[in-house]
Amino acid sequence: MDGWVPLDTLPSQGRAFVRSLNGGHAFVSRLAALGFTPGAPVAIVQNRGHGPLIVVVRDCRIALGRGEAHKVLVQREG
């Protein structure tokens, strides 16, 4: 878990890899169905510091609420 950060802390244009989902079964199942699985690359399209984040995961553009994005742990690229 060294170097893992919540998805909502990445800046716009940031890139990372999904490492873990922290939440209940329904949350984890829903995000996994959207492509947020361990090892999946994710790119931040928009993170203005408030409101939803827009991300690209597995060639799909997805809007996540801040609370949801905070439960997705990622490892920065590089």
Interval 18-40: pLDDT, tens: 999 999 999 999 999 999 999 99
Instruction: Compute how many other C-beta atoms are within 10 angstroms of the C-beta atom of residue 74.
Output: 27
User: For strand 41-46 and strand 15-21, is the pairing parallel, antiparallel, or unpaired?
Assistant: antiparallel
Task: Tell me what pLDDT residue 51 has.
Answer: 93
In this model, does residue 77 exceed pLDDT 90? no
Mean pLDDT for the stretch of residues 38-67 = 96
Contacts of 34 (CB under 8 A, 6+ apart): 57, 60, 62
Alpha helices in the chain (DSSP H): 25-34, 66-70
> Model pTM?
0.93
